[in-house]
A and B are shown apart, each in its own frame.
Chain A
């Protein structure tokens, strides 16, 4: 079952064409990794999937992205609802400068949940799902900026989970973290794919091999190759993929 399908998606920043007719179908409840050298369009494409690119003024998009059978660029689509269902975790941990509790409760509150008991429940569940509950349960009222980088990133994942998304987009979620925090996030991602579809941009090929089920290789705005991770890394179809994964450029 594919949850997201892009068809001939092209994107310009001003006159600069950043994505060239990308077509891809992302399977549900799996981890898909986007790899490629920096500037290849993998982050741009990721941000298109929940329309975070809308925020850039000079951006122009052609083609379609279907999510749950509907084109997300259709005027009838509520972009806020889309972003609730397709959540995002950023490269740099970015908790709000408020308490841990308020960070998690922010999303649910925005979407209209005001009941205290219900919020408590959501906060605990999200923090548990993001494997950080044990570490923070005694200091939920403390400022989130006091946590370590790795904890902050898991908090951000918990915050994204709190609005009950279907898909989690992760934009190089471990690039700012130390190896131990990185492996915790990776474990977490593997647990989360039971319930969620995860799409992750990574600059680290080992990471892609370790945790992803599918891998997409981008180069100069083009989707060069997409397939099962094992296959893509062992028998790449395209010469450019082979060159990249064997470290000939990067």
Chain B
């Protein structure tokens, strides 16, 4: 009897010990999970905060350093060795010219390529090759574009160092962007529209002209905005193709002459001439343009999304 009781007690004690060990283990696990949870949360918040902080810092630093150096005179004069004053009118004009020339050439090419891919192409190999090529193009660094642009457009095609050569180089760089955005918007043109037009006996070209082309307007606009952003920010590809002259020209003369865009001018003023005030003034202009372009892109995107739904 006594022995039995003892045994039972023993069992109970064992049971108790086991439970205690289990509970200890459980609290350990809970603590571990809580630590994991907390550290992940901290890492995520810290990273996001850091990213946000970087953006705020970059914008405000550039604007604070740059805006005081901006003046009307700075914007509408050219640099002069006589008065020892620097104006960026030629750089602004060059930028405008190069943007216009690039878009003028790249739009028909990119839109045409996109139409070919979505409307005409039936051979899978060709489509694959084109898409692969477009992807490859978007991965090539701008310095390589600059080099090949210099060899091909400036030397081989005889364009010399000129805004046009620079624009041609930028055309190749921006081709994938225009292609992609146009393709995206063409995908949203309902198949039934095309079928409807075909059903009425329209030829392919007519369908493309009347149904498909109007449908890609939003893609073209988005593509233009993105391309303008890219052209504004480009420097390495333009250094050896468009050069870095600061002369004021008209559009047509300008295209055949060398000239620095705002970004190239920024580089030259900062790195070669140590004119940081000027560099920051240009940087602040570029920064404002970047913000504007981003806003425009988001707004256009939202507008088209709304229209679609």
**Chain A residues at the B interface, C-beta cutoff of 8 Å:** 110-112
Contact = CB atoms under 8 A, between A and B. Distances in A.
B204 interface: no
Contacts of B26: 112
Interface stretch (B27-35, B63-71, B247-255): B27-35
Contacts of B33: 110, 112
Given A110-B33, A112-B25, A112-B33, 5 more contacts: A111-B29, A112-B26, A112-B28, A112-B29, A112-B32
Nearest to B30: A112
A162 to B, nearest CB: 16
8 contacts: A110-B33, A111-B29, A112-B25, A112-B26, A112-B28, A112-B29, A112-B32, A112-B33
Contacts of A110: 33
Interface residues of B, number: 6
A112 B30 CA distance: 8
Interface of B: 25-26, 28-29, 32-33
B293 to A, nearest CB: 34
A165 to B, nearest CB: 16
A110 B25 CA distance: 14
B36 to A, nearest CB: 10
A112 B29 CA distance: 5
Nearest to A113: B29
Nearest to A111: B29
A111 B27 CA distance: 11
B290 to A, nearest CB: 34
A118 B276 CA distance: 66
Contacts of A111: 29
Contacts of B25: 112
Contacts of B32: 112
A111 B32 CA distance: 10
Nearest to A81: B30
B37 to A, nearest CB: 10
A110 B33 CA distance: 8
5 residue pairs, one from A and one from B, having the closest CB atoms: A112-B29, A112-B32, A111-B29, A112-B33, A112-B28
A112 B26 CA distance: 8
Nearest to B29: A112
A238 B33 CA distance: 49
Nearest to A112: B29
Nearest to B26: A112
Nearest to B25: A112
A112 B32 CA distance: 8
A226 to B, nearest CB: 36
A54 to B, nearest CB: 17
A111 B33 CA distance: 8
A243 to B, nearest CB: 40
Contacts of A112: 25-26, 28-29, 32-33
Contacts of B29: 111-112
A110 B37 CA distance: 12
Nearest to A110: B33
A157 B264 CA distance: 63
Nearest to B28: A112
A137 B167 CA distance: 63
B30 to A, nearest CB: 8
A8 to B, nearest CB: 33
B236 to A, nearest CB: 40
